[in-house]
Amino acid sequence: MNTVLTSTAMRIENLGVRIGNRQIVQDVSLEISSGDWVCVIGPNGAGKSSLLKAIAGILPSAGTIQVNDFDLSTLSHRDRACWIAYVAQAPVIPPGMTVFDYVMLGRTAHLKLLASESDFDLEMTNYVLTELGLSEFATRQVASLSGGERQRVTIARALAQASPIVLLDEPTSALDIGFQQEVLTLINALRKEKKIAVISTMHDLTTSGIYPDRLLLMAQGQVQVSGSAIEVLTEANISAHYGANVRIINDLGRPIVVPTDF
Amino acid sequence: MPLSSVQTSTRIPPKWWFACAGAVVVTILLGVCIGAVGISPKQTALELLSHLPGLSIHSNLDETDSAIIWDLRLPRVVLALVVGSMLATAGSAYQGTFRNPLADPYLLGVSAGAGLGATVEIVVFESPVRWSLPVAAFIGALIAVSLTYALGSSSIAGRSASSLVLAGVAVAALLTAAQTLVQQRNSDKVREVYAWILGRLAVAGWSDLALVAPYVVVCTVVLLRYRRVLDVFAVGDEEATTLGLPVARARAVIILAASLGTAAAVAVTGLIGFVGIIVPHTIRLIAGNSYRRLLPLSIVFGGVFLVLADIIARTAMSPEEIPIGVVTALIGAPFFLYILAARKEGSLV
Amino acid sequence: MKKKLILLAISVSLLAACTTSKKADYPANTVKYPVTMSTKFSGQVRIDKEPQRIISLSPTATEALFAVGAGDQVIAVDDQSNYPDDAPKSDLSGYTPNVEAILAKKPDLVIVSNDINNIVASLRAAKVPVLIEPAAKTLDDAYFQILEIGIATAHDGDSTGLVNQMKQDITDAQAKISSSEKKLSFYHELDNTYYSVTSDTFLGALYKMAGLKNIADAAPGADSGYPQLSAEYIVKANPDFIFLADTKCCSVTAASLKDRPGFAALDAVKNGKVIELDDDVASRWGPRTVELFKQIVDAVTAK
C-alpha cells in the first residue's frame, strides 16, 4: 500500500490505555494534519510514551484513531505501518547491522511478507540516506556511530517508511545540546518540506516550545492543557502539574523555562 | 545493477555459491570414500555411477563392498547432510526470532519431548527391532512444542519472545523429569535410552532418509522464505510491529517450521547437539549477521559440518563408533571457549 | 618312571573317554545348508553355507558358541567376551558397534544381543546373516537361544545334547534341597549401591527355583525388576544368605561386607553365609547358568 503524501488528517478520540488495574492514559483526544507538529509534555509517569505506543499500535487501547476518516483498528499491521512510523525512545540497535540495512528496514511496510526488497526500495533507501547526509556512513555499523548520527539514522528509517505520520518518543533526550539542535532542526525541516505530521514527546520544556505548533501537557494520563507554547508553558501550569517552581522568560519570541528553586 | 544494491550486506555474492557447491561435493566424496573397510576411490566412484540409469558403468566390487557403498555409506552421508542442514537452519531461525544467538533448535522443548517419547517407547516395546521409535520421538517432540507454545501464549504471559523461552524451559524441565522417572523404574533399559539420546547416524538403506526428507525439505523452504523477516526481528518485537511485521504470526510460522523439521530429524537420529549453534555462529563470524546470508549458508554448511563430524565419529576410535552427539559436543566445547576468548565490542554474544 | 607314564596314559584316555562319552550321548548334527531359520527375535534368517567366520558381539553368545562346539568357527568376539579364555577377543564393541569395522573382518554370521546403532539392518544390507539373542527373561529363553545358535552353526545335535544336560543338572541340583531349606531368605547384590533383582527377572527366577525367598520382592520399586534397596531395608529384612554379584566390578568381598554399617550384625554375615559370585556368570544367560545354580544350591545345602 503506497501512501501519497498529500493532505492527511488524523483524529484521535477518547484514547485510553489500561495496563492491569491502572489507567495509564485516559480520554485523550487530538487532531493533527499534514505538516503539523504536536509535542506532548508532562511529568514522569504521565503516560506520554504510552500514548505514543497506543497510537503506534504497540499497546492495546480503547477509543478511536482515524486517519482520513477510516478507522486504524481495522487495518493490518503492515497497512498501519504505511500510515504511521514510530521511533522508540531507546531504539534497539542490532549489533553488526550496517546503516544502509537498518534504514532499509523502513521499507518493510511496503513489502509483502515473503518478498525481498526491489530496486525501488534500494533506491529509496539511498535517497533517504543522501537527504539526511548519511551516505558516507552507509556501510558502517550503526552501533559504531555517535549519538547524534545514530539518531539521524533512526529518523532516516522512519523516513524510508514513507508514512505521513511520524511518532518520535523523546528524540533528543540522549543527545547533547549540539546534537539536540541538529536533530530538532532536521525534524522541523522535514515536516515542512514533506508535509509529515509529527507527534513527539519531550522532556525538556524549553526545547519543546521551539518548533512544535502545539503542545499537549499530560499529567496522570490525561491532557490537562493544550495550545500553543506560550499558552501551555506558564508558571501556573508547570507548578500545578510538575510541582516545580519556575520563571518564564519570553525572550527570543518564545517561552524559556527557568527553574527557580535552586 | 543499480549502485545502491552494492551497499546492502544482505545479498550473497555469486562467487560464494561456487564455494558452497564445492564444499558439498567434496564432503560427500570424503564421506563415501572414508570408512573402516578400505575401498579404492576409483571403485567407489564407479559404484556410485553404476546406479545412474542409462549408463552401463560397473564397478569390480563384490556384493558386500557394493552394499557398503550404496546401502551403508551413501545413505549415511546424505542423512548427515539433511539432518545437519536442518539443525543448523532451525538453530539460525530460532536465533533470529528470539534475538538470542545462543538459541538452539531444542529451545522450546523439542529434545525433552523427543527424549521422553523415545524412552517411553523403548520401555513399553520389548522386541529389539522397532519401527515405532521414530514415531514416538516425533510425537513427543511435537507435544512438547505445542505445550510450550500454549503456555507461552496464554493471556497471562503474552506471546512475547521471552515468555515463550521461559515456557520452553519449564516444559523441558517437566518432561526431562518425567523421562528420568520412567528411566529409574526401568533401569535395565537405560543403556538403550542413552544410546538413542547420544545420537546415531548409522543407517541401512534409504528408508530412514525417506522418513525425514519430506519434512526437512518443506520446513527448510518455509524458513528460507522467511529470511528477510528474521532480519526485521532484529529490532525487537515492538519496533518490528511498528515497521509493519505481524510479529506473533510470523513467529508462530517460524517456530512451527523449525520445530517440525527438528522433530523429524531428531526422531530418526536421536539428539545431536551443538550443530544448531556452532554452524550459525561460525557463519556469522565470516559472513555477518544478516539472516539473508546466514540462513542459506546454514543450510549448506550445517550439512557439511555434520558429515565431517560423522567421519570423525566412525573412524577416530575405530572399531568403536563414537556417538555423534559426543563428537559434536567435543567440537562444541572448545568452540565456545574460542568465542569467549575472541569476544570484542559490539559482537553478537 | 614307567608306572608314571602308564598312569598318565590311563588318565588321559579316561579323560578322553569322559569327553567322548559325553559327546556320544549327544544327538548327531543334521543341519544341511542353505538353511532358513525362523528365529524368535531375528525374524527369518537365511544362512547359505556353514558359517566358518562367526563374529560374536555378545559375551553370552560367545560362551554358547564355544559350549556347543562351534569355537573353531569363530574368528572374533567383542571386547567384553572374556570366557572362554581362548576366545579370539578383539576390540570390536558390542555397545557402540561400527558396522564397517565388523565387515572388514569378512564375517559370514554375526550374533548380537541388541540392535544398537542400526547394526542389524546395516549388516543385513551388506548381506551378512545376523542373529539377535537378547537378554533372556526365563530359563527356557536361555535354552532356546543355545538351540538357535546350535542350528545356525551346524551343531544342532550338540546344542540339543547340551541343553538336555543343562536341564538334567538343574533338576538334579534342585532335588538336593530339602523342604526346610526352602523358605530361607536371601539378598542378591548387583552393585555396591544396593541394586538388587526381584523374582520377576531371569536371575530371580533361578533363586526361586532353588526355593529361596527374595527380600527384594517386597521392596519399594520392585516392579521395575531392579529395585535399589537401602542398607536399612537389608538390615531389617535380615536375609539368611547374601549373594554378591559385584565382586569383580566393585571389589566387594564377604570380608568387606563386615565393614558396612549395620551389616556385621546380619545373620548371613555372622554365620558366614555370604557367597561371592562371579559377576560375569551372574550377568549372562548362557551355559554357565547351570554352574551359577549349582553354586546357589551348594550354598543353601551346606552344613
* pLDDT tens-digit readout, B133-186: 888 899 999 999 999 988 888 766 566 788 888 899 999 999 999 999 888 878
Q: Identify whether the C-beta of residue C202 lies closer than 8 Å to the C-beta of residue C136.
A: yes
Looking at residue B186, what is its pLDDT? 80
Q: Which residues of C touch B (CB under 8 A)?
A: 41-43, 90-93, 95-104, 106, 114-128, 132, 134-135, 195, 221, 223-226
For β-strands C185-189 and C130-132, DSSP reports them as unpaired
A2 occurs within a structural domain: no
DSSP secondary structure of A207-233 = HHTTS-SEEEEEETTEEEEEE-HHHHS
Integer-rounded Cα radius of gyration of chain C: 22
Residue that wins the pLDDT comparison between B72 and B344: B72
Nearest to B10 by CA among B193, B160, B231: B231
Give the tens place of pLDDT for each residue, B218-243. Answer: 999 999 999 999 999 999 999 999 99
In the predicted model, is pLDDT for residue B51 greater than 70? yes
Please give the pLDDT value at position C19: 42
Which residues, in sequence order, are bridge partners of residue C243? C188, C275
C-alpha C163/C-alpha C141 separation (Å) is 11
C-alpha cell at B120: 517411553
Domains, chain C, with CATH or none: 35-156 (3.40.50.1980), 176-301 (3.40.50.1980)
Quote the CA–CA distance of A236 and A247 in Å, as a whole number: 10
HSE of B223 in the Cβ direction (CA atoms, 13 Å)?
37
In this structure, of A174-183, A222-231, B14-23, C162-171, the range with the lowest mean pLDDT score is A174-183
Number of domains in chain A: 1
Q: Are strands C74-77 and C54-56 parallel, antiparallel or unpaired?
A: parallel
Mean pLDDT (chain C, rounded)? 87
User: What residue of B is the nearest CA neighbor of A87?
Assistant: B239
Q: What CA–CA distance (Å, rounded) separates C252 from C191?
A: 9
Q: What is the C-alpha separation between A96 and A78, in angstroms, rounded?
A: 26
pLDDT for A261 equals: 75
DSSP B280-299: HHHHHHHH-S-HHHHHHHHH
Nearest-CB residue to A123 (from B4, B225, B289): B4
pTM (predicted TM-score): 0.85
C-alpha cell at C62: 560367545
- Tell me what pLDDT residue C258 has: 85
C-beta of residue C57 within 8 angstroms of C-beta of residue C92: yes
Task: Give the ipTM.
Answer: 0.90
Pick from B199, B257, B201: which is nearest to B227 by CA? Answer: B257
How distant, in Å, are the alpha carbons of A118, A126, A127, A131, B3 from that of A135? Answer: 20, 7, 9, 9, 12
Which 3 state secondary structure label does DSSP give B186? coil
List chains adjacent to chain C, taking adjacency as at least 3 C-beta pairs closer than 8 Å.
B
Q: Any long-range contacts for B53-62 (C-beta under 8 Å, 24+ apart)? A: none
| In a domain? residue A3 | no
The stretch B203-216 carries a mean pLDDT of 88
DSSP string covering C53-109 = SEEE--HHHHHHHHHTT-GGGEEEE-TT--SSTTS-B-S--SSS--HHHHHTT--SE
- To which residue does cell 525487537 refer? B236
Backbone angles phi, psi at B27, to 5 degrees: -65, -45
Average pLDDT for chain B: 87
Q: Would you place residue C20 in the very low, low, confident or very high pLDDT band (cuts 50, 70, 90)?
A: very low
Q: Which of B232, B243, B290 to mutate against chain A (most A CBs within 10 Å)?
A: B243
CA dihedral A95, A96, A98, A102 (to 10 degrees): -40
The angle that helices B291-315 and B324-341 make with each other, rounded to 10 degrees, is 130
Half-sphere exposure of A140 (CA within 13 A, CB side): 13
Going by their DSSP bridges, the two strands A246-249 and A256-259 should be labelled as: antiparallel
CA distance B291 to chain C (A): 35
pLDDT confidence of residue B321: 85
Question: Residue A75: which CATH number?
Answer: 3.40.50.300
* A151-180 residues touching B, CB cutoff 8 A: 161
Residue B161 in grid coordinates:
519472545
**Neighbouring C-beta atoms of residue C257, cutoff 10 Å:** 18
* Chain A: closest CA distance from residue B258 (Å): 17
Mean pLDDT of B195-200: 84
> What is the set of domains in chain B, with CATH numbers?
83-338 (1.10.3470.10)
Which pLDDT does position C70 carry in this prediction? 92
Higher pLDDT, C187 or B42: C187
- The answer to whether residue C14 scores a pLDDT higher than 60 is no
Rg (CA), chain B: 21
3-state helix, strand, coil in chain B (%, to 5): 75, 0, 25
Percent of chain B scoring above 90 in pLDDT: 49
Q: Which residue's entry shows cell 517386597?
A: C218
Cell numbers standing for residue C36:
532358513
Q: Is B134 left (phi over 0), alpha (psi -120 to 50) or beta?
A: alpha
Residue B318 scores a pLDDT above 80: no
CA atoms B214, B216, B222, B225: torsion sign: negative
Phi, psi of B61 (to 5 degrees): -80, 150
Segment C41-86, tens digit of pLDDT: 888 899 999 999 999 999 999 999 999 999 999 999 999 999 899 9
Residue B239 has its nearest CB partner, among A79, A91, A143, at A91
Is it the case that residue B313 has pLDDT exceeding 60?
yes
| Residue B50, C-alpha cell as written in the block | 553404476
CA distance A127 to A105: 14
Q: Is C217 exposed, middle or buried (0-12, 13-18, 19+ CB in 10 A)?
A: middle
Chain C: closest CA distance from residue B347 (Å): 40
Number of residues in chain A: 262
**Contact between chains at C92 and B319 (C-beta distance less than 8 A):** yes
How confident is the model at residue B128, as a pLDDT? 54
Q: What DSSP string runs through A143-181?
A: GGS-HHHHHHHHHHHHHHTT-SEEEEESTTTTS-HHHHH
Contact criterion met (CB < 8 Å) for B129 and C127: no
Whether residue B347 is predicted with pLDDT greater than 60 in this model: the reply is: no
> 505548533: which residue's cell?
A213
CA distance, residue C70 to nearest chain B CA (Å): 24
Q: What does residue B60 show for φ and ψ, rounded to 5 degrees?
A: -95, 15
Instruction: Tell me the one-letter amino acid at B110.
Output: V
User: Are A126 and B3 a contacting pair at CB < 8 A?
Assistant: yes
Provide CB contacts within 8 A for A39, sequence distance 6+.
Answer: A199, A200, A201, A202, A208, A212, A214, A215, A216
Helix (H) or strand (E) holding C186: strand C185-189
Residues A63, A12 contacting (CB under 8 angstroms): yes
Min CA distance, B124 vs chain C (Å)?
12
- Chain A, 115-154: which have a CB under 8 Å from a chain B CB? 115-117, 119, 122-123, 125-126, 138-139, 141, 143-144
CA B302 to CA B84: how far, in whole Å?
Answer: 5
Q: Which of C88, C90, C110 is CA-nearest to residue C99? A: C110
d(CA A112, CA B24): 33
Average pLDDT for residues B35-47, to the nearest whole number? 85
User: pLDDT-based confidence at C5, cuts 50/70/90?
Assistant: low
Query: Within 10 Å of residue B346's Cβ, how many Cβ atoms?
Result: 12
Domain that holds residue A79: 9-259
CB burial of B122-152 (b: ≥16 within 10 Å; e: otherwise) equals bbeeeebeeeebbebbbbbbbbbbbbbbebb
Query: Mind listing the pLDDT tens digit of every residue in chain A (262 residues)?
Result: 344 556 888 999 999 999 888 999 999 999 999 999 999 999 988 899 999 999 999 999 999 999 988 899 889 899 999 999 999 999 999 998 999 999 999 999 999 999 888 889 999 999 999 989 899 999 999 999 988 899 999 999 999 999 999 999 999 888 888 888 888 999 999 999 989 999 999 988 888 989 999 999 999 999 999 999 989 999 999 989 988 888 998 877 788 898 887 6
Write out chain A residues lying below 8 Å of B12, CB-based.
none
Question: Cα torsion at C148, C153, C154, C158 (round to 10°)?
Answer: -60
Say yes or no for a CB contact (<8 Å) between C132 and B67. Answer: no
Is A106 an interface residue toward B (CB < 8 Å)? yes
| Structural contact between residues A148 and A104, judged by C-beta atoms closer than 8 angstroms | no
**From the centroid of its chain, how far is CA B58?**
35
Residues C128, B64: C-beta atoms closer than 8 Å: yes
pLDDT at position B6 over 90: no
